[in-house]
A = this chain, B = another copy of it.
Amino acid sequence: MTTYLFPDKSEWGEIVKRPTFDNSQLRDLVSGLLQQIREGGDRVLKELEAKFDHCELQDLQVSEAEFEEARKEIDAELANAIDNASRNISRFHSAQSFSGVKVETQPGVVCWQKSVPIDRVGLYVPGGTAPLFSTVLMLAIPAKIAGCGEIVLCTPPNAQGKVNPAILYAATVAGVTKVYKVGGVQAIGAMAYGSESVPKVYKIFGPGNQFVQMAKQLVSLRDVAIDMPAGPSEVCVVADAEANPAYVASDFLSQAEHGADSQAILITDSEDLAKRFEQVMAEQLEKLHRQELTRKSLEHSKVIVLHTQDEVMELVNEYAPEHLILNTRNYLNLAEQVRNAGSVFLGPYSPESAGDYASGTNHTLPTNGYAKAYNGVNLDSYMRKITFQELTAAGLRSLGPVIEEMAQAEQLDAHKNAVTVRLKNL
Residues of B close to A284: CB separation below 8 A: 414, 417, 421
Pair B288/A406 contact, Cβ less than 8 Å: no
Q: Take A77-B405, A116-B338 as given contacts and tell me if A346 and B414 are in contact as well, using a CB distance cutoff of 8 Å.
A: no
With CB as the reference atom, state the residue of chain B lying closest to A412: B257
Pair B387/A344 contact, Cβ less than 8 Å: yes
Docked pose: A13 CA to B106 CA in angstroms: 40
Docked pose: A87 CA to B82 CA in angstroms: 50
* Residues A15-72 near B (CB distance < 8 A): none
Can you report 15 A-B residue pairs in the complex whose CB atoms are below 8 A from each other? A75-B409, A78-B406, A87-B106, A95-B101, A109-B360, A131-B410, A203-B373, A247-B418, A250-B414, A254-B417, A289-B411, A341-B386, A343-B387, A351-B403, A376-B385
Residues of B close to A296: CB separation below 8 A: none
Q: Take A116-B338, A339-B116, A359-B109 as given contacts and tell me if A225 and B92 are in contact as well, using a CB distance cutoff of 8 Å.
A: no
A272-291 interface code vs B (CB 8 A; 1 in, 0 out)? 00000000000010011110
Residues of B close to A101: CB separation below 8 A: 95
Pair B384/A375 contact, Cβ less than 8 Å: yes
Pair A399/B348 contact, Cβ less than 8 Å: no
Q: Take A101-B95, A246-B421, A355-B389 as given contacts and tell me if A81 and B405 are in contact as well, using a CB distance cutoff of 8 Å.
A: yes
With CB as the reference atom, state the residue of chain B lying closest to A93: B103
Pair B166/A111 contact, Cβ less than 8 Å: no
Q: Which of A182-190, A304-312, A390-398 contacts B (4 or more CB under 8 A)?
A: A390-398
With CB as the reference atom, state the residue of chain B lying closest to A115: B375
Pair B372/A202 contact, Cβ less than 8 Å: yes
With CB as the reference atom, state the residue of chain B lying closest to A324: B386
Contacting A414 at CB < 8 Å: which of B109, B254, B403, B420? B254
Residues of B close to A134: CB separation below 8 A: 406, 410
Q: Take A109-B360, A351-B419, A386-B375 as given contacts and tell me if A409 and B133 are in contact as well, using a CB distance cutoff of 8 Å.
A: yes
Contacting A399 at CB < 8 Å: which of B257, B288, B358? B358
Contacting A78 at CB < 8 Å: which of B91, B133, B222, B409? B409
Residues of B close to A415: CB separation below 8 A: 254, 257, 352-353, 356-357
Ranked nearest first, the 10 interchain pairs of A and B with the lowest CB-CB distance are: A225-B373, A105-B360, A375-B384, A88-B105, A81-B405, A351-B418, A250-B418, A130-B411, A254-B414, A346-B390
Residues of B close to A372: CB separation below 8 A: 118-119, 202
A79-97 interface code vs B (CB 8 A; 1 in, 0 out)? 0111011011001100110
Contacting A389 at CB < 8 Å: which of B247, B359, B402? B359
CB A402 to nearest CB in B, in angstroms, measures 5
Contacting A403 at CB < 8 Å: which of B247, B358, B374, B422? B358
Docked pose: A96 CA to B113 CA in angstroms: 9
Q: How many residues of A contact B (CB 8 A)?
A: 125
Docked pose: A370 CA to B371 CA in angstroms: 24
Pair B111/A361 contact, Cβ less than 8 Å: yes
Pair B253/A346 contact, Cβ less than 8 Å: no
Docked pose: A74 CA to B230 CA in angstroms: 46
A181 contacts B by Cβ under 8 Å: no
Residues of B close to A341: CB separation below 8 A: 386
A236 contacts B by Cβ under 8 Å: no
Residues of B close to A340: CB separation below 8 A: 116, 119
Residues of B close to A257: CB separation below 8 A: 412-415
A132 contacts B by Cβ under 8 Å: yes
* Residues A224-271 near B (CB distance < 8 A): 224-225, 229, 244, 246-247, 250-251, 253-254, 256-258
CB A98 to nearest CB in B, in angstroms, measures 8
Pair A225/B77 contact, Cβ less than 8 Å: no
Residues of B close to A288: CB separation below 8 A: 413-414, 417
